Amino acid sequence: MKLAKILSAAALVLSSNFSFAEEVPQAVIDLADSLMPLGREVVLVNAVKAQNAQGKSLESIKTLDEKWIATEGIDDFMSSLMNNEAAKFLTTYEASKPYYQEIFLMDNQGANVAMTSKTSDYWQGDEDKWQKSFADGKGDKHIGPVKFDTSSQAYLVQISVPVMDGDTAIGAITIGINLDQFGL
């Protein structure tokens, strides 16, 4: 029965484009809504502001992304993103619910600022999770497709919310949700 619910939710999510709320299971929408305040946490806002102030060029971000993808394991730069103040906050937040699988924080170009575990790439700016949650500085929530994760042997969905400074999105946060643990 549990597998049937997951597969039904997966089929529903995979068949939709998320432009209409009724296409997404209500429990996932409710969770996404409840995650919106995370993007106003002072430690996260300050971390994103600090990285945005560095003014990295997209070219330098893409160079770091290529190096990141080619690096096996975790190098010093990756470790710094897993051990900064924002990452410590996110690690504590992740531990607060059994269904949080992974959380990462991105700047105004989609580059990682902090993370609870190594992401597959450094630059998320070319992906819906960042583009739709950053929303050209307007900020919005985004619910990605359900995917089966072979490493955790679980169905996962990523929910992304904007990091807001007042009424302006300055970055985004993606939270991986383990649907087996969530109860769908």
Predicted confidence at residue 151, as pLDDT, reads 65
119: left (phi over 0), alpha (psi -120 to 50) or beta: beta
Q: What is the DSSP string of 90-145?
A: HHHHHHTSTTEEEEEEE-TTSBEEEESS--S-SB-TTSHHHHHHHGGGT---EE--
pLDDT band at 138; cut points 50, 70, 90: very high
Mean predicted confidence (pLDDT) in 135-154: 88
In this predicted structure, the answer to whether residue 11 has a pLDDT above a threshold of 50 is no
> What's the gap between Cα 112 and its chain centre?
10
Mean predicted confidence (pLDDT) in 6-26: 45
Mean pLDDT of all residues belonging to the chain = 88
The rounded distance, in Å, linking the Cα atoms of 114 and 132 is: 19
pLDDT band at 3; cut points 50, 70, 90: very low
Nearest of 181, 163, 2, 156 to residue 97 by alpha carbon: 181
Residue 130 to residues 4, 10, 61, 88, 141: CA-CA distances in angstroms? 30, 21, 15, 21, 10
The rounded distance, in Å, linking the Cα atoms of 126 and 168 is: 20
- What are the chain's domains? 2-182 (3.30.450.20)
The rounded distance, in Å, linking the Cα atoms of 142 and 37 is: 14
- Rg of the chain in Å (alpha carbons): 16
In this predicted structure, the answer to whether residue 16 has a pLDDT above a threshold of 80 is no
Burial class (CB in 10 A: 0-12, 13-18, 19+), 140: middle
What percent of the chain clears pLDDT 70, i.e. is strictly above it? 86
Predicted confidence at residue 183, as pLDDT, reads 79
pLDDT band at 152; cut points 50, 70, 90: confident
pLDDT band at 12; cut points 50, 70, 90: very low
